[in-house]
Amino acid sequence: MVDNVTKSSSKILGVGSYLPSEVVDNLKLSEKVDTSDEWITSRTGIKARRIANEKEATSDLAVKAAQNALIDAGLTAQDIDLIIVATITPDMAFPSTACLIQHKLGIPKVASFDIEAACSGFLYALDVADGMLSSNRYKCVLVVGAEKLSSIMDWEDRTTCVLFGDGAGAAILSNAGSGSQLIGFKSGADGSNPNLLYQPAGGSLLPASQDSLSSRGHFLKMNGREIFKSAVRVMERASRELLEAHGFTENDVDHVIPHQANARIVESLSQRLEIPLGKFFCNLDKYGNTSAASIPIALDEARKSLILKKGQLGLFVAFGAGLTWSAVLVRF
């Protein structure tokens, strides 16, 4: 069914990423948390993660990823006229991380804002950027997914702190020029159960207080099992709906770049979609779950590994806190 589907005209002109230099492998982590390399590897596929240093904030990681994306696109920061940043670990509650990045890139006046859709954030941002470009009011959009998740980890909670890492990825989008053609988007959310994955304190509901600190409310909390089940279900549904809406089948997909949360989630998705696991790009063993940064980092690595051939069909698919989900189709 191809009727009533708005076709995108935007292209990804360049991609870049940045990972902090400190590598924390499972063995190192097991020296400070009650866990083991065997448990983390067998339950998640993660072997290591990158951790930013005290002086590096999310915007610093983002700027480096953005600069790499600009080089890849053959453009300069002055070509950008809109910045959209997806993050759940902004440098501060406000102003937006996008504004801080705008200043660090030296491009005053450029419209800049953050969006928050957790691990689906980068795909949501692509969806929004595509809409802004199709309005013809903007010509060149910098889209960033960046996280310093180590800043909200409870290093005494082994059920979460082993899973996440820091990093940033960026893409330059435009209607003009040559690059990977965005085809379509399917984003959605179910806000009925926010406590499955959340940071309880620090917002207007539970502002910072002695109580919020002593109850460890400023750290990420998660019901891993429930998130696992929902993740597979919503990613399968969004992928199928998007493919069908654009007249494709699962067999047409050459590469899937999924959110990098857990190798078992990727395996389940591969089985349910009946797309061979070999078509899924995974680098979560090296970086863990970097939330909004995971797909652009994976895209950048997949591209550099030269597996993405011109004309092939790519499917990006993510899920995250909210619960949010998003799927994006692209012709490389």
Q: Yes or no: say if 260 and 282 are a contact pair by the CB < 8 Å rule.
A: yes
C-beta of residue 183 within 8 angstroms of C-beta of residue 331: yes
120 touches ligand UT7 by CB under 6 A: no
Nearest approach in angstroms of CB 43 to ligand UT7 is: 4
Closest by CA to 296, choosing from 129, 77, 57, is 129
Q: Is the peptide bond before 27 cis (omega within 30 degrees of 0)?
A: no
Q: Give yes or no for a contact between 125 and 132, defined as CB atoms under 8 angstroms apart.
A: no
* 159 sits near ligand UT7 (criterion: CB under 6 A): yes
Nearer to ligand UT7, 177 or 224 (CB): 224
Among 289, 290, 324, 326, binds ligand UT7 (CB under 6 A): 289
Q: Can you tell me the distance from the alpha carbon of 123 to that of 138, in angstroms, rounded to the nearest whole number?
A: 19
Q: Residues binding ligand UT7: what is the number (CB under 6 A)?
A: 18
How many Cα neighbours within 13 Å face the side chain of 219?
17
Q: Which of residues 45-104 bind ligand UT7 (CB under 6 A)?
A: none
Q: Report yes or no: 27 and 40 within 8 Å, Cβ to Cβ.
A: no
Stretch that binds ligand UT7, among 12-20, 39-47, 99-107, 122-130 (CB under 6 A): 39-47
Task: Find the binding residues for ligand UT7 in span 248-267 (CB under 6 A).
Answer: 261-262
Binding to ligand UT7 by residue 324, rule CB under 6 A? no
Q: Is 19 helix (H, G, I), strand (E, B) or coil?
A: coil
Examine residue 119 and tell whether it contacts ligand UT7 (CB under 6 A).
yes
The distance of closest approach from Cβ of residue 197 to ligand UT7 in the complex, given in angstroms and rounded to an integer, is: 6
119 is known as an active-site residue:
yes
CB of 258 vs ligand UT7, minimal distance in Å: 11
Q: Which is nearer to ligand UT7, 87 or 262 (CB)?
A: 262
Phi then psi for residue 182, to 5 deg, are -75, 135
Query: What residues contact residue 209 under an 8 Å CB cut-off, 6+ apart?
Result: 201
Cβ of residue 163: shortest distance to ligand UT7, in angstroms? Answer: 6
Whole-number Å distance between alpha carbons of 136 and 249: 31
289 is catalytic: yes
Which one, of 79, 71, 77, 125, lies nearest residue 104 by Cα?
77
| Using rule CB under 6 A, residue 202 touches ligand UT7 | no
Q: Which of 119, 140, 161, 282 is catalytic?
A: 119
Tell me which residues are annotated as active site.
119, 259, 289
| Binding interface with ligand UT7 (CB under 6 A) | 35, 39-40, 43-44, 119, 158-159, 162, 222, 224-225, 227-228, 261-262, 289, 320
